[in-house]
Amino acid sequence: MLPRRSPCLHLRWTACMYPVVLLVFLYYYVDSTTSAAKSPDNIAVLAEVSLTSSALQDTTLLLNKYAFCHNLSHSNDHNVQASCDNILEPKDVFISVKTTKGYHDTRLPTIFGTWHQLFPESVYYFTDVDSELLNKKTNYHFINTGCGASHWRSSLCCKMAKELEHFLETDAKWFCHVDDDNYLNVPELFNLLERYDYTDDWYIGRRSTAMPVEMVLHTELDKEEDLRFSFATGGAGFCLTKALVLRMKPYLSGGKFIALGEQLRFPDDLLVGYIIEHRLQVNLTIIPEFHSHLEDLHFYDSSLLKRQITISYSDQNTITIDGFSRSQDPTRFYSLHCHLFPKYASFCP
């Protein structure tokens, strides 16, 4: 009996090979589109789309913790009730991001594609121009302060005053300031704040100097006043309780904050520290998990990243972490987000 001939021998070669060619084409097409999707131009879009479920997941975890404690409110176990007294909801923390028009298209997309989506209702942006597009994108949390766009102290103090004044109009218990070059580990921030009583005066952050600031202040009456105080650098972020910000109110309204900054020649974060530590006599609580680009971030131990509150970057100073290539992720924030939330960010490599 002769062996059965393949039916392909009775057909044209191209017709027989079509399924094979199609499979090869699809393989390379999928590979190329995946690579293109993770190009620098598309990674932000992918991140925003894929992290929508991440935001819901993480917010749900936080709300479940709150609901658990809320359900125990009728319990007779006072130890359990006490452990739940400081549980925070997203609306309890006012996260203020200072930005400017020059960074709306560069720095902000990275924030929108990563940590912003974890707790969007907590995040407010303070800038110097109107943007209807970004206002809608942030659920109308995009505020034109009317301040200048420069990095000069008058513009910085103007924005800080607007941030604090806007916070006082809300029911939030905590005010937390970050810059637009910060990655904020929001769940870890909530865990930190829950250790402190929001009804007391708390000033939480990290110094950019090893020791407190020491200087001689020349007053209007030609007298000298020795100053020694600490301040939390705005580049690493800091947090204040509402109780403390209410005590700062006499220094904020009516342009007083800007005027005091000009008088002392202090930028915004230094002025906040001066008012709180020197005038109000509330000491800075130093939290080493806040980080600015003034530190050397290259050699930071990546195994400790999950417990850090903020991370920053500059052109030549970023954390070292596996993930996207440098060209795709120059800030390393997308790679960091994938490291912290690998189950939720489907855009990760």
Selected catalytic residue, list 269, 315, 322, 329: 269
Q: And the tokens for 295?
A: 């530190």
- Yes or no: say if 51 and 114 are a contact pair by the CB < 8 Å rule: yes
Report the C-alpha gap between 262 and 31 in whole angstroms: 57
Report the C-alpha gap between 175 and 239 in whole angstroms: 5
Burial class (CB in 10 A: 0-12, 13-18, 19+), 224: exposed
Where do the DSSP E strands lie in 162-245?
Answer: 174-179, 183-184, 203-205, 213-218, 224-229, 238-241
Nearest to 339 by CA among 291, 315, 304: 304
- Yes or no: say if 115 and 90 are a contact pair by the CB < 8 Å rule: no
Whether 269 sits among the annotated catalytic residues: the reply is yes
Report the C-alpha gap between 345 and 190 in whole angstroms: 21
Report the C-alpha gap between 231 and 275 in whole angstroms: 10
- Yes or no: say if 242 and 173 are a contact pair by the CB < 8 Å rule: yes
Q: And the tokens for 75?
A: 């319990």
Local structure of residue 314 (DSSP, 8 states): B
| Residue 219, CA atoms < 13 Å, CB-side half-sphere | 6
Q: What does the buried/exposed string (b/e) look like for 159-181 if buried means 16 or more CB atoms within 10 Å of the residue's CB?
A: bbbbbbebbbeeebbbbbbbbbb
Q: And the tokens for 134?
A: 């970004």
Residue numbers annotated as active site: 269
